[in-house]
């Protein structure tokens, strides 16, 4: 089973749009152990040292695309490891962050504002949990 207490979302900036914050809060109520950290910027010299033993997944437009079932399986395949997602700001993520990632992930061939990408990622994590639990939330 996918355990959300092993998942963190690390993002640059605070959510400014109330409707996006409301959506995020709805999914956080369903996954209270999911951690979300907001940073002013990512000025990490060595991401791998700070996030030892974590699977680092960076959201970027050049990342790999998954459907919802494959995304759920991907997260389940990381066994008991912590999973840290990174979302940049309007300028994206630095090459340093991307090169230190275990996986580059794209949410869609379309481009989304970084605030909306955070909401979509949280919804997809919830969907992955639902798929792993055979919940009716995800209808095949």
Residue 139 lies in a domain: no
Residue 138 lies in a domain: no
Residue 116 lies in a domain: yes
CATH number reported for the structural domain that contains residue 116 in this entry: 3.40.1280.10
Can you give the pLDDT of all 140 residues of the chain as single tens digits? 567 888 999 999 999 999 999 999 999 999 999 999 998 888 766 677 677 788 999 999 999 999 999 999 999 888 778 999 999 998 889 888 898 899 999 999 998 899 999 999 999 999 999 998 888 887 76
Residue 47 lies in a domain: yes
Residue 137 lies in a domain: no
List, in sequence order, every residue forming a beta bridge with 56; answer none if it has no partner: 84
Residue 18 lies in a domain: yes
Show the domain range for 28.
Answer: 4-132
Residue 19 lies in a domain: yes
Domains identified in the chain, total number: 1
**Residue-by-residue DSSP string for 41-102:** ----S-HHHHTTTEEEEEEEEEEE---HHHHHHHHHTTTT-EEEEEE-BTTB--HHHHHT-S
What pLDDT was estimated at residue 44? 67
Query: Is 0.85 topped by the overall pTM?
Result: yes
What pLDDT was estimated at residue 140? 61
What pLDDT was estimated at residue 130? 92
What pLDDT was estimated at residue 46? 67
């Amino acid at each position: 089973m996918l355990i959300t207490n092993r998942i963190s979302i690390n993002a640059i900036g605070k959510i400014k749009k109330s409707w996006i914050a409301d959506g995020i809060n709805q999914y956080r109520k369903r996954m209270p152990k999911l951690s979300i950290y907001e940073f002013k910027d990512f000025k990490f010299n060595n991401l791998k040292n700070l996030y030892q033993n974590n699977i680092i997944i960076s959201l970027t437009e050049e990342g790999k695309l998954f459907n919802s079932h494959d995304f759920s399986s991907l997260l389940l395949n990381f066994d008991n490891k912590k999973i840290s997602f990174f979302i940049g700001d309007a300028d994206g993520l630095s090459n340093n962050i991307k090169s230190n990632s275990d996986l580059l992930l794209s949410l869609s061939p379309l481009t989304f504002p970084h605030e909306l990408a955070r909401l979509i990622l949280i919804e997809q994590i919830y969907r992955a949990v639902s798929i792993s639990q055979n919940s009716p939330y995800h209808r095949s």
